[in-house]
Amino acid sequence: MKVYSNDDVRSDALQDQRIAIIGYGSQGRAHAQNLRDSGFDVVTGVRKGGKGWTNARADKIETAEPTEAVKGADLIAILTPDMAQEAVWKETIAPHAKEGSALLFAHGFSIHYGRVQPRADMDVVLVAPKGPGDLVRREFIRGRGVPALFAVKQDATETARARAMAYAKGIGGAAGGLIETTFAEETETDLFGEQAVLCGGAKELVKAGYQTLVDAGYQPEVAYFECMHELKLIVDLFYEGGISKMHDFISETAKYGAVASGPRIITEETRERMREVLRDIQSGNFARDWILENQAGKPRYTAMLNADRNHPIEKTGAALRERMAWLKSPTNA
Ligand code: NDP
Ligand code: MG
Ligand code: MG
């Protein structure tokens, strides 16, 4: 496996090409500004009066109605939410994109699950930064970058790979380290990571730990500190130096407890559940459920989200965080 750096990537493939960024949210805002500051010709396709439109104007990024932005573009990055991409493709891109233009995604969902079926004359590529948009922008401004994955699904022009790599470099992805993947691998691992570990697994672990302590009669505030608040310190150590760095920084007692009791929590049964979640992603069951849920107006999704929002740990945490002044701005940690 090769990790590409800035020196490995040429920008020629996108020289004198016009890049249309459709959607100006988390990723769109970062990509558009980084590409512009890398010297590329960028226009963002945004709905007039929307938040993206206002932000793009404030950032001095050229704006146009989505259809107009698509018409003149050599590369079209579709950076709207995944569930909006099928309609954006059918109504805005497919009828208006130039012959031989490239269609770029930041996540493979729409292509991998067949929601978007691109025209045969177009390149279809993926550039997926491994971080949220605000970090993609912040790191770029510091002269660094967030690592990114790239992939080619369809190469109609024989420049698909070069264009994807040039785009990735333009947003800072090669400074952070650029890795080639496939749409299938990016989509399935991204979904699995967020479901089993990062978002789904982590929040359930926190809630279960908190509930166990509170049910046993301990004070909710103390349970909050132990099961949620301090998680950041541990995750920061993972981030900086892996499991070994965590072991280097915690007490001997914590370390013994970690190695002795951790495997009693994540058991073979949990790992079987992880494989189940992965199978649902691979088979398309998860994608189908999520699409149907959207079509039904998201009743189950809304109910489950509300259950999380109304969990007792949220009330306990909000009151405690009020007193921690350094938490008020999310980027000053
Ligand atoms: P956001 O929800 O932040 O972006 C929303 C933007 O899309 C807004 O500008 C919105 O317009 C616009 N939009 C929504 N619906 C439409 C529509 N029907 N027509 C035109 N514009 C529309 O998206 P993200 O940046 O989170 O996600 C974009 C892609 O990037 C997804 O594929 C996602 O999986 C991927 N990704 C996201 C990451 C992240 O950290 N968020 C990380 C890596 C990949 P308006 O302002 O007018 O409402
Ligand atoms: Mg992800
Ligand atoms: Mg994701």
Q: Where are the domains of the chain?
A: 3-181, 198-266+298-327
Q: Is 47 in the pocket of ligand 1 (CB under 6 A)?
A: yes
Residue at 223: amino acid letter = A
Q: What is the pLDDT of residue 331?
A: 55
Q: What is the pLDDT along the chain (333 residues), one digit of tens a residue?
A: 899 999 999 999 999 999 999 999 999 999 999 999 999 999 999 999 899 999 999 999 999 999 999 999 999 999 999 999 999 999 999 999 999 999 999 999 999 999 999 999 999 999 999 999 999 999 999 999 999 999 999 999 999 999 999 999 999 999 999 999 999 999 999 999 999 999 999 999 999 999 999 999 999 999 999 999 999 999 999 999 999 999 999 999 999 999 999 999 999 999 999 999 999 999 999 999 999 999 999 999 999 999 999 999 999 999 999 999 888 765 544
Q: What is the pLDDT of residue 1?
A: 87
Residues ≥6 apart with Cβ < 8 Å to 146: 129, 130, 131, 135, 136, 139, 172, 173, 176
Instruction: Tell me which of 21, 26, 29, 115 to substitute to probe ligand 1's pocket, judged by most ligand atoms within 8 Å of the beta carbon.
Output: 26
Residue carrying structure tokens 């945004």: 46
Which residues surround the ion ligand 2 when the cut-off is CB under 5 Å?
Answer: 190
Coil, strand or helix: which one is 269?
A: helix
Q: What is the pLDDT of residue 328?
A: 78
Q: Is 133 in the pocket of ligand 1 (CB under 6 A)?
A: yes
Tell me how far the alpha carbon of residue 122 lies from the centroid of ligand 3, in angstroms.
Answer: 25
ipTM score for this prediction: 0.97
The residue whose CA is least distant from atom 47 of ligand 1 is 50
What CATH number labels 3-181?
3.40.50.720
Tell me how far the alpha carbon of residue 5 lies from the centroid of ligand 1, in angstroms.
Answer: 27
Please give the number of the atom of ligand 1 that sits closest to the Cα of 80: 7
CA separation (Å) from 267 to 32, 257, 301? Answer: 44, 16, 28
pTM: 0.93
Determine whether 31 is an active site residue: no
CA separation (Å) from 164 to 4, 64, 101, 116? Answer: 13, 23, 12, 19
Catalytic residue among 96, 107, 247, 311: 107
Determine contact, residues 212/265, Cβ cutoff 8 Å: no
Tell me how far the alpha carbon of residue 85 lies from the centroid of ligand 1, in angstroms.
Answer: 9
Query: Mind listing the pLDDT tens digit for each residue in 22-71?
Result: 999 999 999 999 999 999 999 999 999 899 999 999 999 999 999 999 99
Residue carrying structure tokens 């929590």: 265
The residue whose CA is least distant from atom 18 of ligand 1 is 84
Tell me how far the alpha carbon of residue 324 lies from the centroid of ligand 3, in angstroms.
Answer: 30
Q: Is 20 in the pocket of ligand 1 (CB under 6 A)?
A: no
Q: What is the pLDDT of residue 269?
A: 98
